[in-house]
Amino acid sequence: MPGKPTRRLETFPNPHPARDYRIHMEIPEFTCLCPRTGQPDFATLVLDYVPDRRCVELKSLKFYIWSYRNEGAFHEAVTNRMLHDLVRATRPRFMRLTARFYVRGGIFTTVTAEHAKPGWKPRASADLATLPDGSGARG
């Protein structure tokens, strides 16, 4: 049975809750309607997050994104609303949603919204250019 658009975001337990790791998603088919003209707006959404106890289930995310297709929304409002809903569903350590809207009237618009769990600090990433023995990367 084909799926239907819905605002219900499903989650599943984080398989590695003790570790900070980034989940990166690119969603190139986001559409909503301009609230002034009713014309379609198209965007690529980039979602990056560090999960805490829950991760977003991809099929439900697809149906959630689809639910905006016929809704009028300003770019700033829809980006922040989606971030709010995703944070509420997953309660991540960190989440960033970037919406890169395609050109409209000669203007590209990019909206980025972020959330960080109070007290959470990102850990430093490993520098792979130098190995622990100081010899540099091997290739």
Q: Which residue range forms the structural domain that includes residue 16?
A: 11-115
**Is residue 86 in a domain?**
yes
Gyration radius of the chain's alpha carbons: 18
Q: Residue 97 has which token pair?
A: 């949603």
**Is residue 53 in a domain?**
yes
Q: In total, how many domains does the chain have?
A: 1
pLDDT digits (tens, 9 = 90+) for 27-57: 999 999 999 999 999 999 999 999 999 999 9
pLDDT digits (tens, 9 = 90+) for 8-21: 999 999 999 999 99
Q: What is the DSSP string of 18-86?
A: TS---EEEEEEEEEEE-TTT--EEEEEEEEEEE-SSEEE-HHHHHHHHHTTTT-B--HHHHHHHHHHHH
**Is residue 30 in a domain?**
yes
Structure confidence at residue 125 as a pLDDT band (50, 70, 90): confident
pTM: 0.87
**Is residue 27 in a domain?**
yes
The CATH number assigned to the domain holding 81 equals: 3.30.1130.10
pLDDT digits (tens, 9 = 90+) for 63-88: 999 999 999 999 999 999 999 999 99
**Is residue 51 in a domain?**
yes
Q: Say what the pLDDT of residue 44 is.
A: 98
**Is residue 128 in a domain?**
no
**Is residue 4 in a domain?**
no
Which residues are known catalytic residues? Answer: 34, 41
**Is residue 2 in a domain?**
no
Residue 2 in this model has a pLDDT that exceeds 70: no
